[in-house]
Amino acid sequence: MKASELRQKTKEELENLLVELHKEQFNLRMQKGTGALTKPDLLRKVRRDIARVKTILGEMARAEA
């Protein structure tokens, strides 16, 4: 997911995406704990996607102020 793609979304869409990413991160952590995680690189990808979404939301908040 690229930052340019995220900037085209509305604030509500980004917040919903953030919730989904947190759920996915939780599920991946549970899989890692049980040893069922087949692709450990997904944890890093999801964590970075969460950071991107939070960054864009922060930029939107600063632009409104």
- Contact between 57 and 14 under an 8 Å Cβ cutoff? The reply is yes
Q: Is the pLDDT of residue 56 over 90?
A: yes
Residue 1's pLDDT is what? 80
What residues have CB less than 8 Å from 28, skipping those under 6 apart?
37, 42, 43, 46
Q: 7-42, pLDDT tens digit by residue? A: 999 999 999 999 999 999 999 999 999 999 999 999
**In this structure, what token pair is assigned to residue 52?**
């991107």
pTM above 0.95, yes or no: no
CATH 3.40.50.300 fits 3-64, yes or no: no
DSSP 3-65: HHHHHTS-HHHHHHHHHHHHHHHHHHHHHHHHT--S-THHHHHHHHHHHHHHHHHHHHHHHH-
Where are the domains positioned within the chain?
A: 3-64
